[in-house]
Chain A
């Protein structure tokens, strides 16, 4: 093959995983999560790539909608596993009733990793209203949340949230701001 990759070493099919994404992936593993249910977006695809590379025994399950993903994760917990969800902040809006009437009401712990839209770095006005509402929505439901502000803290943030979730049987949210996941001035998708 004649193609070469100048950014990520010898294998052009496997671009380098950003450090924050490797940290989230390691945090999920170290936090005990072996099941990940997801509705994809661009930043989350880096976490999926990191899981595939470093923790290939983690099963990833695609859902068609975030509310559905919450249901699948709840069933995975009832079956004795420790599940995580990957979703975009817009999808958190789709999932709210399930977070309240299933996860919180039944005390079913899930680590929700939420890729932010509508925060600084956003270019699409349609993403802003729910993006602005993410923290108030989580606060209104009483869901503990932390934001990963630096890429070197990603693993520890996820591990601490997983401990809170599975230790106390509550859903938690780990927010990934665009300043973390998208290069400055980039990411118009």
Chain B
């Protein structure tokens, strides 16, 4: 399973969920797989994808929120797992695309290429709903579980690096305004 395969599989399960996606290759591949106004593409602030998604999940408990993070990024902000566990938003899925490398910067190995285990880290911080998926079938199962059992969920998808073929718009303000407009447009029309 490549990172693109995992992103595309996750994307196909989405309905009206806002998605926060990590900068670099993950954002590029989500855009290539299927752009939508409810995708919030980051272009900086490495490490904060899970935190942005947490804030969004707290502000919008009526909406399921999905974060697409990377292993290198989550390793920059492991405290986020403790905060997610403490706040415990039932509507948050943190999907970590774990390729064991800093894919966007040239493929240098991250600690998850060795002994580091981000699912175990999530559990150690108090997140109770976790899974590690090593192929597409396991990822489908974990994503389905995250839809039917209240979270917060941390799912680690072990993936191979893939080569992005497109990039989202570089206009950060456009990305934000489009996202907020889409999120506000159907607020009130859905209840928890």
Contacts and interface: CB of A to CB of B under 8 A. Distances in A.
Interface of A: 35, 37, 59, 61-65, 67-81, 83, 97-98, 100-102, 105-108
Nearest to A105: B172
B40 interface: yes
Given A101-B44, A105-B172, A75 B59 contact: yes
B23 to A, nearest CB: 9
Interface in B33-58: 40, 42-58
B58 A75 contact: yes
A80 B52 contact: no
Contacts of B86: 62
B44 A75 contact: no
A67 B48 contact: yes
B175 interface: yes
For chain B, give the interface size range: 35 or more
A105 B44 CA distance: 9
B59 A76 contact: yes
A101 B80 CA distance: 18
A73 to B, nearest CB: 6
Interface of B: 18, 20, 40, 42-60, 77, 79-80, 82-83, 86-87, 172-173, 175-176, 179-180, 183-184, 187
The 7 tightest CB contacts between A and B, nearest first, are A75-B55, A79-B59, A101-B44, A71-B51, A64-B79, A71-B48, A75-B56
Given A80-B60, A97-B44, A102-B42, A75 B51 contact: yes
B55 A74 contact: yes
A184 to B, nearest CB: 35
Nearest to A99: B45
A147 to B, nearest CB: 27
Nearest to B184: A80
Contacts of B40: 78
Given A64-B83, A75-B20, A80 B45 contact: no
A64 B46 CA distance: 16
A107 B175 CA distance: 11
B154 to A, nearest CB: 16
Contacts of B56: 75-76, 78-79
Given A78-B176, A97-B46, A106-B175, 12 more contacts: A64-B82, A65-B79, A67-B48, A71-B48, A74-B45, A76-B56, A79-B57, A79-B183, A80-B59, A107-B172, A107-B173, A108-B176
